[in-house]
Chain A
Amino acid sequence: MSHLLEVKDLRTEFRQPTGTLHAVEGVSYHVDAGEIVAFVGESGSGKSVTQYSTLQLIPMPPGKITGGEIWFDGRNLLTEGQKSAALQSVRGAEIGVVFQEPMTSLNPVLTIGKQLTEGMMLHLGLNRTQARDRAVDLMEKVGIPDARSRLDAFPHQFSGGMRQRIMIAMALACDPKILIADEATTALDVTTQAQILELMKDLVEQTGTALIIVTHNLGIVARYASRVHVMYAGEIVESGPTREIFKAPRHPYTIGLLRAVPSLADERDRRLIPIPGMVSSQVDPPDRCAFINRCPYAVAECETEPRPVLQAVGTGHVKACHRDIDLQTTPVRQFEATARTEAAAAPSATTPVLEVKHLKVTFPTYGGFFKRKTGDLLAVDDVSLTVGKGETVGLVGESGCGKTTLARAVMGLQEVAGGQIIFDDRDITGLSPSQMRPLRRDISMVFQDPYGSLDPRQRAESIVAEPLGNFFPDMSAKARSERVKELFDLVGLNPDQRSRMPHEFSGGQRQRLAIARALASEPSLIVLDEAISALDVSIQSQVINLLEDLQARLAVSYLFIAHDLSVVRHISDRVAVMYLGQLVELTGWRQLYENPLHPYTKALLEAVPIPDPDDAANQRRIIKGEVPSVMNRPAGCAFSSRCPLATDRCRVDKPPLEGRGEAHEVACFAVQAGA
Chain B
Amino acid sequence: MAGYVLRRLGQSVVVLLLVTLMVFFTMHALPGDPVTIFLGTTATPEQIAHYTEVFGLDQPLIVQYVKWLAGLAHGELGQSIALSKPVGEVLPGRIVVTLSFTLPALVLSVLVGTTLGIWSAMRRGRLADSVISAVASFGVAAPAFVIGILLILLLGVQLKWLSISGYTPITEDPVAGIKKLVMPVIALSFGQVGMFTRQTRSAMLEVIGQDYIRTARSKGLKEKTVIVAHALRNALIPIVTLMGMSIGGLIGGTVLIEQLFTMPGVGSLLMMSIMNRDYMVLQNIVFFIAAAVLAANFLVDILYGYIDPRIRLVRK
Shortest Cβ distance from A651 into chain B, in angstroms? 30
Does the CB pair B225–A118 fall under 8 Å?
yes
Does the CB pair B313–A90 fall under 8 Å?
no
Shortest Cβ distance from A566 into chain B, in angstroms? 28
In A154-211, the 8 Å CB interface with B consists of 154, 156-157, 167, 170-171, 173
Q: Which chain A residue has the least Cβ–Cβ distance from B237?
A: A109
Does the CB pair B233–A104 fall under 8 Å?
no
Determine if A96 is an interface residue (Cβ-Cβ < 8 Å): yes
Determine if B45 is an interface residue (Cβ-Cβ < 8 Å): no
Q: Which chain A residue has the least Cβ–Cβ distance from B234?
A: A109
Docked complex Cα distance between A38 and B219 (Å): 22
Identify which of A91, A108, A156 contacts B220 (C-beta below 8 A).
A91
The residue among B210, B223, B309 with the most chain A CB atoms within 10 A of its own CB is B309
Docked complex Cα distance between A97 and B233 (Å): 23
Determine if A89 is an interface residue (Cβ-Cβ < 8 Å): yes
- Given known contacts A57-B217, A101-B211, what 10 new A-B pairs fall within 8 Å (CB)? A91-B219, A91-B220, A99-B215, A107-B230, A107-B234, A108-B234, A110-B233, A118-B229, A122-B221, A123-B220
Does the CB pair B308–A109 fall under 8 Å?
yes
Binding site for B on A (CB under 8 A): 52, 55, 57, 59, 61, 83, 87-93, 96-97, 99, 101, 104-110, 118-119, 122-123, 154, 156-157, 167, 170-171, 173, 369
Docked complex Cα distance between A55 and B220 (Å): 10
Identify which of A93, A97, A109 contacts B309 (C-beta below 8 A).
A109
**Could you show 5 A-B contacts with beta carbons less than 8 Å apart?**
A88-B222, A99-B211, A101-B211, A110-B229, A122-B222
Q: Chain B 196-240 against A: per-residue CB contact (8 Å), 1 yes, 0 no? A: 000000000000011110111111111101000110011000000
- A91 neighbours in B (Cβ, 8 Å): 217-220
- A123 neighbours in B (Cβ, 8 Å): 220
Does the CB pair B310–A107 fall under 8 Å?
no
Docked complex Cα distance between A61 and B222 (Å): 19
- A93 neighbours in B (Cβ, 8 Å): 220
Determine if B3 is an interface residue (Cβ-Cβ < 8 Å): yes
Does the CB pair B219–A119 fall under 8 Å?
yes
- B210 neighbours in A (Cβ, 8 Å): 104
Binding site for A on B (CB under 8 A): 3, 7, 125, 209-212, 214-223, 225, 229-230, 233-234, 307-310, 313
- A369 neighbours in B (Cβ, 8 Å): 3, 7
- B225 neighbours in A (Cβ, 8 Å): 118
Identify which of B7, B209, B216, B220 contacts A90 (C-beta below 8 A).
B220
Does the CB pair A88–B233 fall under 8 Å?
no
- B7 neighbours in A (Cβ, 8 Å): 369
The residue among B7, B219, B225, B309 with the most chain A CB atoms within 10 A of its own CB is B219
- B125 neighbours in A (Cβ, 8 Å): 61
Docked complex Cα distance between A642 and B229 (Å): 40
Does the CB pair A57–B214 fall under 8 Å?
yes
The residue among A57, A104, A109, A157 with the most chain B CB atoms within 10 A of its own CB is A109
Known pairs A57-B214, A105-B215, A107-B230; A88 contacts B309 (CB<8 A): no
- A96 neighbours in B (Cβ, 8 Å): 218
Does the CB pair B214–A109 fall under 8 Å?
no
Q: Which chain B residue has the least Cβ–Cβ distance from A123?
A: B220
Shortest Cβ distance from A174 into chain B, in angstroms? 8
Docked complex Cα distance between A87 and B223 (Å): 12
Does the CB pair B233–A106 fall under 8 Å?
no
Q: Which chain B residue has the least Cβ–Cβ distance from A119?
A: B219
Known pairs A109-B233, A122-B220; A104 contacts B309 (CB<8 A): no
- A167 neighbours in B (Cβ, 8 Å): 215
Shortest Cβ distance from B124 into chain A, in angstroms? 9
- B212 neighbours in A (Cβ, 8 Å): 104-108
Docked complex Cα distance between A408 and B29 (Å): 54
Known pairs A154-B310, A156-B310; A107 contacts B215 (CB<8 A): yes
Docked complex Cα distance between A90 and B219 (Å): 9
Does the CB pair B215–A106 fall under 8 Å?
yes
Give me the 10 closest cross-chain CB pairs, A-B, nearest first: A91-B220, A92-B220, A92-B219, A119-B219, A104-B211, A107-B212, A97-B218, A154-B309, A88-B220, A105-B211
Shortest Cβ distance from B38 into chain A, in angstroms? 50
Identify which of B3, B219, B310 contacts A118 (C-beta below 8 A).
B219
Identify which of B209, B216, B229, B310 contacts A108 (C-beta below 8 A).
B310
Docked complex Cα distance between A612 and B125 (Å): 49
Identify which of A109, A156, A157, A170 contacts B219 (C-beta below 8 A).
A170
Docked complex Cα distance between A122 and B309 (Å): 25
Known pairs A101-B211, A104-B210; A92 contacts B218 (CB<8 A): yes
- B215 neighbours in A (Cβ, 8 Å): 97, 99, 105-107, 167, 170
Q: Which chain A residue has the least Cβ–Cβ distance from B312?
A: A154
Q: Which chain B residue has the least Cβ–Cβ distance from A371?
A: B7
- A170 neighbours in B (Cβ, 8 Å): 215, 219
Does the CB pair B221–A118 fall under 8 Å?
yes
Docked complex Cα distance between A282 and B308 (Å): 40
Docked complex Cα distance between A90 and B218 (Å): 9
Shortest Cβ distance from B285 into chain A, in angstroms? 35
Q: Which chain A residue has the least Cβ–Cβ distance from B230?
A: A107
- B211 neighbours in A (Cβ, 8 Å): 99, 101, 104-105
Does the CB pair B217–A89 fall under 8 Å?
no
Known pairs A101-B211, A369-B3; A108 contacts B219 (CB<8 A): no
Does the CB pair B230–A110 fall under 8 Å?
yes
Shortest Cβ distance from B4 into chain A, in angstroms? 9
Docked complex Cα distance between A89 and B218 (Å): 10
- B3 neighbours in A (Cβ, 8 Å): 369
Shortest Cβ distance from B127 into chain A, in angstroms? 14
Does the CB pair A108–B309 fall under 8 Å?
yes
- A106 neighbours in B (Cβ, 8 Å): 212, 215
Shortest Cβ distance from B135 into chain A, in angstroms? 23
Docked complex Cα distance between A504 and B210 (Å): 26
Does the CB pair B218–A57 fall under 8 Å?
yes
Shortest Cβ distance from A212 into chain B, in angstroms? 13
- A57 neighbours in B (Cβ, 8 Å): 214, 217-218
Does the CB pair B214–A99 fall under 8 Å?
yes
- A110 neighbours in B (Cβ, 8 Å): 229-230, 233
- A90 neighbours in B (Cβ, 8 Å): 220
Identify which of B214, B220, B223 contacts A119 (C-beta below 8 A).
B220
Does the CB pair A108–B308 fall under 8 Å?
yes
Does the CB pair B218–A55 fall under 8 Å?
yes
Q: Which chain B residue has the least Cβ–Cβ distance from A87?
A: B220
Known pairs A105-B212, A108-B212, A369-B3; A89 contacts B310 (CB<8 A): no
Docked complex Cα distance between A89 and B219 (Å): 9
Docked complex Cα distance between A83 and B217 (Å): 9
Q: Which chain A residue has the least Cβ–Cβ distance from B309?
A: A154
Known pairs A61-B125, A88-B222, A118-B225; A107 contacts B216 (CB<8 A): yes
Docked complex Cα distance between A51 and B313 (Å): 36
- B307 neighbours in A (Cβ, 8 Å): 109
Q: Which chain A residue has the least Cβ–Cβ distance from B125?
A: A61
Q: Which chain A residue has the least Cβ–Cβ distance from B214?
A: A57
Shortest Cβ distance from B236 into chain A, in angstroms? 9
Shortest Cβ distance from B232 into chain A, in angstroms? 10
Does the CB pair A156–B218 fall under 8 Å?
no
- A55 neighbours in B (Cβ, 8 Å): 218
Shortest Cβ distance from B162 into chain A, in angstroms? 43
Docked complex Cα distance between A59 and B125 (Å): 13
Docked complex Cα distance between A92 and B222 (Å): 12
- B223 neighbours in A (Cβ, 8 Å): 83
- A118 neighbours in B (Cβ, 8 Å): 219, 221, 225, 229
Docked complex Cα distance between A154 and B217 (Å): 19
Shortest Cβ distance from B131 into chain A, in angstroms? 19
Docked complex Cα distance between A101 and B310 (Å): 18
- B217 neighbours in A (Cβ, 8 Å): 57, 91
Docked complex Cα distance between A510 and B230 (Å): 37
Docked complex Cα distance between A157 and B217 (Å): 23
- B308 neighbours in A (Cβ, 8 Å): 108-109
Shortest Cβ distance from A569 into chain B, in angstroms? 33
- B220 neighbours in A (Cβ, 8 Å): 87-93, 119, 122-123
- A97 neighbours in B (Cβ, 8 Å): 215, 218
